[in-house]
Chains A and B, each alone.
Chain A
């Protein structure tokens, strides 16, 4: 079964989506969308590093993303510029340095489009093992960090005053995000990873009454979008990353619509209330 490239891609997509959903909820709650973009863009520099030094791609991308997030933490502590501006600098700087570095390696034939937009043909059995192994690790870390992360999201001062070490949780969260970007890159592509984090979480918000429900729904919606997108990609020969994002967006738009049956019932109840 795993010999079929499409089955591998489906399993990889679901594996990534189930952790990207809960992680993406924190990105939405903490307003870190641009941060996710920055880390994803820095992945290109990671690719260049991997090619130049013949290191593992996963390792290089994770290292560079983690490095960029730590640089951000240091620059934030230094103060003076807004996080927004710092992210703008880091995001485009790493993207540019990555592209320039690749130009210095003419012997390397690199499928840039594949890295930018994802390639379902690229998922090997080893990748699948990495993705699911990584998903289990990320899931475990998120469970372990759940309380301090959530407390720090609601209010960092409460979390600090009440012994939750929110700063440590925040840094751990950034590293987890770097790791997810590294494992998600092959399927979704660098440019669209943030979409897989944010759109399912935003869709889940519509139906959730608690943070935990929202996280689970986001994982579920992400998995559905990933599966739907990969079928779209297979059927219409479209790049996998954009296809997944298009399906995720369709789900988001559907969730915005009022549910016809329920709204009809509410209207009926209202009418009853008015006449009685």
Chain B
């Protein structure tokens, strides 16, 4: 198993998490290669966050195995983060929450996400978009191999959403880190996603975003233009086991799966991983993070 997964940052096989008498997720297979962007989508309560947490070791799985690359550096932007008002914390101070960094590195990181002018501001006073950018800068400051973003556009208006996704794409391109993105939005995912995993307690389907995968231009992932930051990825569930309006579509034939087939559990994801992983891994070597 070790030898097989040397090219992968994280290799999850048949992972399940059991809490309070029920399986939050089960039988999840997910392999994340270097430099790959993977998006987890699914309705509320479908186990996206749980899957991501199991991948990076925040949650211990009750079934299956998770193999992580040695010395894997993770940068994490959680779904919910509210700094208690009793805790004074400037933007600059928050940057070094889990890692050391000098002032110029911090300044550069804040500059990258466009909030350098807020370095002295208290985090409580930031707007939703500014705070998300600060969290992104903080996670990137660690020079992570894998950036995990749980609903990163939460509390951000639509134009800010587009800008934030573009920023994430840019950061990925320049840093070469893999990205595990979680979105509850079934309609909009990042254009540059290598692979989409649709969850609903288990892996409903997995594959590249249909419309993008169809075009050969998309295969040259890094050549794609930054302007194309969003892609519409339509996916309608043919089953309605959660009372969520978003997936309760009447038509079951209205599928737009494209290359994405149902239940990839048995299939190896290796091909997609290597394709995207090879160039990124090469660039990663230049960085040589500590």
A contact residues vs B (CB 8 Å cutoff): 28-29, 31, 79, 147, 150-151, 153-155, 157-164, 202, 205, 208-211, 213-214
Tell me the bound Cα distance from A79 to B53 in angstroms.
Answer: 20
Contact B89 A162, beta carbon cutoff 8 Å: no
Task: Give the one of B57, B74, B81, B89 with max A CB within 10 A.
Answer: B89
Pair A158/B20 contact, Cβ less than 8 Å? no
Give Cα A147–Cα B98 distance, bound, in whole angstroms.
7
Query: Which residues of B pack against A, CB within 8 Å?
Result: 20, 53, 56-58, 74-76, 78, 81, 83-84, 86-90, 93-94, 97-99, 122, 142, 148
- A158 and B84 contact, Cβ closer than 8 Å, known pairs A209-B90, A209-B122: no
Residue of A nearest to B92 (CB): A210
Residues of B within 8 A of A159 (CB): 97-98
Partner of B87, one of A29, A147, A163: A29
Min CB distance A80 to B, Å, is 10
Instruction: Verify B86–A162 contact, CB threshold 8 A.
Output: no
Structural contact, B89 and A211, CB atoms closer than 8 A = yes
**Of listed B20, B76, B90, residue having the most chain A CB within 10 A:** B76
Give min CB distance, B69 to chain A, whole Å.
14
Whether A155 and B81, one on each chain, are in contact in the complex, defined by CB atoms closer than 8 angstroms, is: yes
A-B pairs with the 10 shortest C-beta distances?
A161-B76, A162-B98, A29-B87, A208-B88, A160-B58, A157-B78, A151-B97, A161-B56, A151-B98, A28-B86
Cβ–Cβ contact A205 & B86, under 8 A: yes
A residues near B142, Cβ cutoff 8 Å: 162
**How far is it, in angstroms, between the C-alpha of A210 and the C-alpha of B93 when the chains are bound?**
7
Q: Which residues of A contact B89 (CB under 8 A)?
A: 154, 210-211
Give the distance in Å from the alpha carbon of A89 to the alpha carbon of B57 in the complex: 33
Closest to A208 in B: B88
